[in-house]
Amino acid sequence: LDGFDLKTYKTSAAGYQRLLPVVRNCRKAILNSCDLTEKSCEIVASALQSSNSPLRDLDLSNNNLGDSGVKLLCAGLMSPNCKLQRLGLGWCNLTDGCCDVLASVLHSPHSELRDLELRDNELQDSGVRALSAGLEDPHCKLERLGLSGCRVTHRGCDSLASALCSNPSHLRELDLRYNHPGDSGVRALSAAKLDTLTLLVDHGGENRTKPGPRKYGCQLTLDPN
């Protein structure tokens, strides 16, 4: 099976759970916005650990997985049988509490992960610092990292810049839109990056450090005319 989109099956959350084992037999699994939870991650992790797992592209975005769910998922990601190359975890209610184990995946010699999307999670600078420890490892093969809307400031950018200096060979795109890197954060990243790295820092500002959807708010002024 080349692709499996769980949303095409109009069913309940329990029905989605029963369909999940299908991911064992597909190359691309689109599981976003399906009311999946921590329990779902056990099933997916088991699929990733299965012998000759064909799964290469997995989108779990917009599900309430939480840090505990991602930690379960990482057990599968670190399996020698796992050949996953792209993982989408945007809007999954994650915090810095899952970043150490994600970093362990990045520096695992077995990991084939090339694209990691973490947008719109509350990772903050502490989470980015933990991820950077994985990025700087020579085993890390990541080519794209999505951190849009993760409440990152210049401190997180400094950690990323240090990681890029240590291991500059693979990363091709770093998405830091809707964060607050400030001038110093952008300077640090610009000084560290290779010519081959695309750095995205649009729509930054201090309001991007606010939690939840408030980071996307804007101030309106009334025109008396």
* pLDDT (tens digit per residue) in 6-42: 999 988 888 999 999 999 999 999 999 999 999 999 9
Instruction: Examine the pLDDT at 199 and tell me if it is beyond 80.
Output: yes
148 within some domain? yes
Domain harbouring 192, CATH code: 3.80.10.10
Tell me the C-alpha distance between 182 and 180, whole Å.
6
Whether 220 is covered by a domain: the verdict is: no
In a domain, 222, yes or no: no
Angle at 86 between CA 85 and CA 89, to 5 degrees: 140
The residue range of the domain holding 14 is 3-211
The answer to whether position 119 is within a domain reads yes
- Percentage, residues of the chain above pLDDT 90: 79
Is 165 inside any structural domain? yes
Q: pLDDT band for 195, please (50, 70, 90 cuts).
A: confident
Residue at 190: amino acid letter: S
Q: Is the pLDDT of residue 213 over 90?
A: no
- The torsion defined by the Cα of 16, 17, 21 and 27, in degrees rounded to 10, comes to 50
- Does the pTM of the predicted model rise above 0.85? yes
- Counting the structural domains of the chain, the total is 1
The reply to whether 217 falls in a domain is no
Contact 79, 110 (CB under 8 A): yes
* pLDDT tens for each residue of 75-119: 999 999 999 999 999 999 999 999 999 999 999 999 999 999 999
